[in-house]
C-alpha cells in the first residue's frame, strides 16, 4: 500500500506540481507538434507512458550493475538511450511485422520513443533516488503531464488561430511561443519557488 | 564524364543552403523543432556556445553517416541509429568538455542526442542526397541552430542582469526563453516577409490545425492534391498556348509606325 501511495505521489508531482514539460522543457517540441494536430493524442500519450515505464524498469536493473557506478554521467545517459532504443526496436519490429502498422504510426512511435521527456524519466529517477515503484509513478506522471500540456497548448492554438487582433507578424508560431511561455510561467508558480524575489 | 557533370550540377551551394536552411526555413524558428536545450539550458553565451558546438558536431556526423550508410535501412530503424550515434558522440564529448560548463548544462548536453532537428534533417535531406550535400546542409542547419541559441543566451543573460537579482531562480526557468524565442520568431518572420516575399513561409502559420495559410504556393500537399494541381497547371498552360496561337504574334516594337507618322505629318 505504501508503495502504491508513493507511486501516486510521484506521478502527481511530475504531472501537476512540477510539470516536466513546462517547468523543465522536456519534450516541449514534441508537445507543441502534437498539439498542432492532436489526431493521435491518446496513442502518443500511451506510447510515451510505455517507453518511459520500460526505460525506468530497464534503468533500475542496469543501475544495480557494478560498472555503471564507475561510468561518467554522459555514458550512463547513453546506456539509458540504448535501453530505449532496444525497447523501440522490439516494439517497432512487432508493430511492422505482426500489426502491419503504417508509416504514419511508425513515425509517431519514433517521435514518442526518442524525445527528451522519455529520456529524462530514468535520469530523474536516478538523481532523486527513486525505487522501482516511484520510478514507474514518475513515468506515468510524465505521460499525463504530456497529455495535460498538449491539451492546454491545443486550447491556446484554437484561440490564437481565430484571433484576428494579433498583429500579422506575431500570428502563428511567435504567438504560440509567447503563449507557451506564459503557460510555463503560470505552472512554475505551482512549484512553490519564489520567482521574482 | 556526364555523371560527374550531373553530380556537380546537383551540388548544393553553401549560399543556397545557408539562405534556405539557416535563414528562411530555420528549423528552430519555423517548425519549433529541438527547442528543449535552447529553452532550458541557454542561460548565457558560454552555455549557448557549448550547446551549439556539441549540436554542430552531432548533426554533421549524423547527416554524413546517414547519407553514407543508412539509405538501405527503413525509416523506423534509422531513427534509432541517429540517437545511438549522437549519444555515443556526446558521451565522448563529455570527457573532453569543460567540467564547469558540462555541470551548468546538466542533462541538456547529453539530451541533444534525442533532438528533433537531427532526425528531421537526416530524414528529410541526408538520406535522399549525396554526402557532400548532406554535409553542406548539416553545416547550414547547425549555423541556424547556433544563431538562435546564441541570441537567446545573450538576451537571457542581459535580462537577468537588468531585471532580476543574481540569485533569482526565475532566470533558469524556461518561460523567459520561450517568450524571447517568440519575439525572435516574430522578427524573423517580419524579415522574411519584407525582404523575401516569394519564399514559402507556411511553417510560420499554425497550418493544418485550425487555419488555412495564405500562400502563393500551397507548398507540400498530399500526392493526390499535387497531381490535381499539376494537371490544372497543364490545362492552364495549354489554354495559354492556344490563345498565343490565335492572337497576332507581334510586339509593339515590331509594328512599323512610319506610315501613320507620315500621314500625320502630311
Average pLDDT over residues B27-54: 88
DSSP B91-115: HHHHHHS-HHHHHHHGGGTGGGGG-
Which residue out of A52, A178, A191, A196 would a mutagenesis test of the B interface target, given it has the greatest number of B Cβ atoms within 10 Å? A178
> For A133-163, how does the pLDDT look when each residue is reduced to its tens digit (9 = 90+)?
888 998 999 999 999 999 999 988 888 888 8
Residue of A nearest to B180 (CA): A178
Q: Is B162 on the interface with A (CB under 8 A)?
A: no
Tell me how far apart the alpha carbons of residues A24 and A184 are, in angstroms, rounded to a whole number: 9
**Nearest chain B Cα distance for residue A92, angstroms:** 7
More confident residue, B215 or A177: A177
What residues of B are in contact with residue A142 (Cβ under 8 Å)? none
> Which among B173, B176, B178 is the nearest to A180, CB-wise?
B178
Nearest Cα of chain B lies from the Cα of A2 at a distance, in angstroms, of: 30
Residue B206: which of A111, A157, A170 has the nearest Cβ? A157
A vs B, Cβ pairs < 8 A, gives: 196
pTM for the whole thing?
A: 0.80
pLDDT at residue B192, as a whole number: 87
* pLDDT (mean) for B180-188: 92
pLDDT of amino acid A192: 66
pLDDT, residue B220, reads 46
Q: Do A119 and B169 touch (CB under 8 A)?
A: no
Asked whether residue B253 carries a pLDDT value surpassing 50, the answer given is no
B45 vs B230, higher pLDDT: B45
Q: Which of A169-178, B4-13, B218-227 has the highest mean pLDDT?
A: A169-178
**Is the CB of B32 inside 8 Å of chain A's CB atoms?**
yes
Gap between the Cα atoms of A164 and A92, Å rounded: 43
B138-167 average pLDDT score: 86
ipTM of the complex: 0.89
Residue numbers in A near B176 (CB within 8 A): 181
**Dihedral sign of CA atoms B54, B55, B61, B66 in order:** positive
CB of A39 less than 8 A from some CB of B: no
> Closest by alpha carbon to A26, among A127, A148, A119?
A119
Contacts B195 to A, Cβ<8 Å? none
pLDDT surpassing 90 at residue B145: yes
Q: Is B58 near chain A, with CB under 8 Å?
A: no
**pLDDT exceeds 80 at position B197:** no
Neighbours of A182 (CB within 10 A): 15
CB distance from A96 to chain B under 8 Å? yes
Among A9-23, B63-77, B249-263, the range with the most confident prediction by mean pLDDT is B63-77
Which value, to the nearest 10 degrees, does the dihedral of the CA atoms of residues A101, A81, A151, A95 take?
10
Q: Is the pLDDT of residue B90 over 50?
A: yes
Residue B265 has pLDDT above 80, yes or no: no
Residues of chain B neighbouring A191 (CB-CB closer than 8 A)? none
User: How high is the pLDDT of residue A53?
Assistant: 93
User: Are B90 and B112 a contacting pair, CB within 8 Å?
Assistant: yes
Q: Return the closest-CA partner of residue B195 out of B4, B19, B10, B12.
A: B19
Average pLDDT across chain A, whole number: 86
CB contact under 8 A, B114 and A81: yes
Residue B173 or B261, more confident? B173
pLDDT at B58: 93
Q: A118 falls in which pLDDT band (50, 70, 90)?
A: very high
How do residues A67-94 score in pLDDT, each as one tens digit?
Answer: 877 888 888 888 999 999 999 999 999 9
| Chain B, window 171-190: residues with a beta carbon less than 8 angstroms from a chain A beta carbon | 173-179, 181-183, 185-186, 189-190
Cell 530555420 found at:
B26
**Contacting residues of B for A33, CB less than 8 Å apart:** 32-33, 116
Contact map slice: B 190-249 vs A, CB within 8 A = 190, 193, 203-206, 208-211
Handedness of CA A86, A89, A93, A94 (dihedral sign): positive
Residues of B with Cβ-Cβ distance to A115 under 8 angstroms: 114, 116
Q: What is the pLDDT of residues A20-74, one digit of tens each?
A: 888 888 889 889 888 888 878 888 899 999 999 999 999 989 888 888 778 888 8
Q: What is the pLDDT of residue B187?
A: 92
pLDDT of residue B60: 93
Confidence of residue B226 (pLDDT cuts 50, 70, 90): low
* B93 at A interface, C-beta within 8 A: yes
* Of A157 and B217, more confident: A157
A188 → chain B, closest CA residue: B173
User: Could you tell me what percent of chain B has a pLDDT over 70?
Assistant: 71
For residue A83, which residues of chain B lie inside 8 Å, CB to CB? none
- Asked whether residue B149 carries a pLDDT value surpassing 90, the answer given is yes
Contact call for residues A96 and A105 (beta carbons, < 8 A):
no
Distance CA B34, CA A165 (A): 29
For an interface test with A, which of B25, B35, B38, B39 has the most A Cβ atoms less than 10 Å from its Cβ?
Answer: B39
B106-134 pLDDT tens trace: 888 888 888 889 998 898 888 888 888 88
Q: Is A188 on the interface with B (CB under 8 A)?
A: yes
Domain layout of chain B by residue ranges: 10-204, 223-265
Mean confidence (pLDDT) of chain B: 76
Query: Which long-range CB contacts under 8 A does B158-163 form with residues at least 24 apart?
Result: B160/B43
Q: What is the mean pLDDT of residues A163-175?
A: 87
Amino acid at each position: 500500500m505504501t508503495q502504491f501511495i508513493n507511486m501516486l505521489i510521484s506521478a502527481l508531482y511530475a504531472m501537476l506540481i512540477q510539470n516536466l514539460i513546462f517547468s523543465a522543457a522536456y519534450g516541449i517540441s514534441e508537445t507543441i507538434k502534437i498539439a498542432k494536430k492532436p489526431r493521435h493524442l491518446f496513442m502518443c500519450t500511451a506510447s510515451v507512458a510505455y517507453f518511459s515505464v520500460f526505460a525506468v524498469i530497464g534503468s533500475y536493473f542496469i543501475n544495480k550493475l557494478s560498472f555503471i557506478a564507475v561510468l561518467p554521467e554522459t555514458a550512463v545517459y547513453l546506456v539509458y538511450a540504448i535501453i530505449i532504443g532496444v525497447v523501440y526496436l522490439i516494439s517497432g519490429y512487432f508493430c511492422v511485422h505482426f500489426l502491419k502498422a503504417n508509416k504514419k504510426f511508425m513515425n509517431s512511435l519514433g517521435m514518442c520513443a526518442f524525445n527528451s521527456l522519455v529520456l529524462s524519466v530514468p535520469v530523474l529517477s536516478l538523481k532523486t533516488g527513486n525505487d522501482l515503484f516511484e520510478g514507474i509513478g514518475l513515468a506515468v506522471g510524465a505521460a499525463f503531464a504530456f497529455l495535460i500540456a498538449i491539451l492546454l497548448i491545443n486550447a491556446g492554438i484554437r484561440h490564437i488561430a481565430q484571433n484576428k487582433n494579433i498583429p500579422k507578424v506575431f500570428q502563428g508560431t511567435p504567438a504560440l511561443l509567447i503563449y507557451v511561455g506564459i503557460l510555463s510561467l503560470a505552472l512554475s508558480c505551482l512549484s512553490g519557488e519564489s520567482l521574482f524575489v | 564524364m556526364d555523371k560527374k557533370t550531373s553530380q556537380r550540377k546537383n551540388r548544393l551551394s553553401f549560399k543556397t543552403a545557408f539562405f534556405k536552411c539557416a535563414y528562411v526555413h530555420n528549423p528552430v524558428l519555423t517548425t519549433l523543432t529541438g527547442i528543449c536545450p535552447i529553452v532550458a539550458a541557454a542561460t548565457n553565451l558560454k552555455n549557448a556556445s557549448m550547446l551549439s558546438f556539441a549540436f554542430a558536431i552531432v548533426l554533421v556526423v549524423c547527416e554524413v553517416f546517414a547519407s553514407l550508410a543508412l539509405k538501405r535501412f527503413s525509416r523506423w530503424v534509422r531513427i534509432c541509429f541517429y540517437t545511438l550515434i549522437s549519444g555515443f558522440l556526446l558521451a565522448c564529448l563529455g570527457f573532453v568538455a569543460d567540467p564547469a560548463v558540462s555541470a551548468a548544462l546538466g542533462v541538456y548536453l547529453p539530451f541533444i542526442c534525442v533532438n528533433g532537428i537531427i532526425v528531421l534533417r537526416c530524414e528529410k535531406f541526408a538520406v535522399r542526397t549525396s554526402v557532400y550535400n548532406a554535409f553542406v546542409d548539416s553545416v547550414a542547419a547547425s549555423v541556424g541552430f547556433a544563431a538562435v541559441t546564441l541570441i537567446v543566451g545573450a538576451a537571457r543573460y542581459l535580462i537577468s542582469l537588468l531585471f532580476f537579482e543574481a540569485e533569482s531562480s526565475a532566470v533558469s526557468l524556461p518561460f523567459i526563453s520561450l517568450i524571447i524565442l517568440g519575439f525572435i520568431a516574430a522578427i524573423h518572420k517580419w524579415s522574411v516577409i519584407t525582404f523575401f516575399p516569394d519564399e514559402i513561409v507556411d511553417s510560420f502559420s499554425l497550418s493544418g490545425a485550425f487555419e488555412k495559410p495564405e500562400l502563393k504556393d500551397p507548398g507540400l500537399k498530399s500526392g493526390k492534391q499535387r497531381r490535381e494541381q499539376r494537371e490544372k497547371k497543364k490545362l492552364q498552360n495549354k489554354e495559354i498556348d492556344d490563345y498565343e496561337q490565335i492572337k497576332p504574334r507581334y510586339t509593339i516594337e515590331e509594328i512599323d509606325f512610319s506610315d501613320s507618322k507620315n500621314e500625320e505629318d502630311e
